[in-house]
Amino acid sequence: KQEVTQIPAALSVPEGENLVLNCSFTDSAIYNLQWFRQDPGKGLTSLLLIQSSQREQTSGRLNASLDKSSGRSTLYIAASQPGDSATYLCAEPRDDKIIFGKGTRLHILP
Amino acid sequence: DAGVIQSPRHEVTEMGQEVTLRCKPISGHNSLFWYRQTMMRGLELLIYFNNNVPIDDSGMPEDRFSAKMPNASFSTLKIQPSEPRDSAVYFCASSLGFTGGGNYGYTFGSGTRLTVV
């Protein structure tokens, strides 16, 4: 059974700090990895999609990496802001389903 | 593109009533998925359509749940009769699907928050 794991489940960081969210997966043949953000009571917003031929993707203050050999992905957030507070979900999108981790609840302390 | 559009945003209904949730996928996407999210179970795949055809409905919890996709731009998820344990947020997502070059990721709608009292 393919799984996606995110540790820690929750994280609090002072505003302005850089931080890294971790994701691990068991599928050694992973095609792609996608990071989502979910605000309380809201939907899922796609942040970054890393395709198998890529090692990382960047969008603004966000940088996501994919290391297939170690089964890991990281989401780096630079200069964190209170508005970054949300749950961040790592997921493996397949053709017939998307396998989600349980997410990391991030709280940026003002 | 306006993204994946779901309606209604919120639905409160009494136990035993029929509930219909609606979804309009992104134009050109050939795969559509219905997910349910609860605190206890997280995100669960209910059913998956490819080119309007249901491919995998093994996640549909009971016969009370049914889903249709009459055309490429519209899908419904129906619960009849509804029960309090069906209360959850229901998400629709669409994707370009597998093209041989890899999956292009998923786009989710804003969800329908269903409360059955």
Per-10-residue mean pLDDT of chain A, 110 residues long, equals 89 96 88 91 90 89 94 96 96 83 94
Query: Rounded mean pLDDT of B106-111?
Result: 92
| pLDDT over 60 at B100, yes or no | no
Is residue B84 classed as helix, strand or coil in its secondary structure?
A: helix
Q: Which residues contact A82 (CB under 8 A, 6 or more apart)?
A: A15, A108, A109, A110
Q: Which of A78-87, B6-15, B104-113 has the lowest mean pLDDT?
A: B104-113
- Tokens found for residue A69: 């050999």
- Tokens found for residue A39: 């605000």
Q: How far is B62 from chain A (nearest CA, A)?
A: 20
**E strand spans, chain B:** 5-7, 10-13, 19-24, 31-38, 42-50, 53-56, 65-71, 74-79, 88-95, 106-108, 112-116
| pLDDT over 50 at B102, yes or no | no
Residues making up chain A, counted from first to last: 110
Given CB atoms, is B74 within the 8 Å cutoff of chain A? Answer: no
Which chain B residues touch A42 with a CB distance below 8 Å? 110-111
Q: Do A43 and B111 count as a contact with CB atoms less than 8 A apart?
A: yes
What residue of B is the nearest CA neighbor of A92? B105
Which region, left, alpha or beta, applies to residue B51 given φ > 0 means left and ψ of -120 to 50 means alpha?
left
Can you spell out the DSSP letters for B24-35? EPPTT--EEEEE
The tens digit of pLDDT for each residue in B22-34 reads: 999 999 898 899 9
Given CB atoms, is A51 within the 8 Å cutoff of chain B? Answer: yes
Which chain B residues touch A45 with a CB distance below 8 Å? 108
Is residue A29 classed as helix, strand or coil in its secondary structure?
A: coil
CA proximity to B59, closest of A96, A75, A79, A107:
A96
CA proximity to B16, closest of B63, B59, B64:
B64
The tens digit of pLDDT for each residue in B27-83 reads: 989 889 999 999 888 899 999 999 999 998 999 988 999 999 999 999 999 999 999
The residue type found at B75 is S
Which residue stretches of chain A are H helix? none
| pLDDT over 50 at B101, yes or no | no
Given CB atoms, is A62 within the 8 Å cutoff of chain B? Answer: no
Cβ atoms of B93 and B104 within 8 Å: the answer is: no
| pLDDT over 70 at B98, yes or no | no
Place of tokens 């093994």: B58
Which chain A residues touch B111 with a CB distance below 8 Å? 42-43
Which chain A residues touch B95 with a CB distance below 8 Å? 93, 95
The residue type found at B89 is V
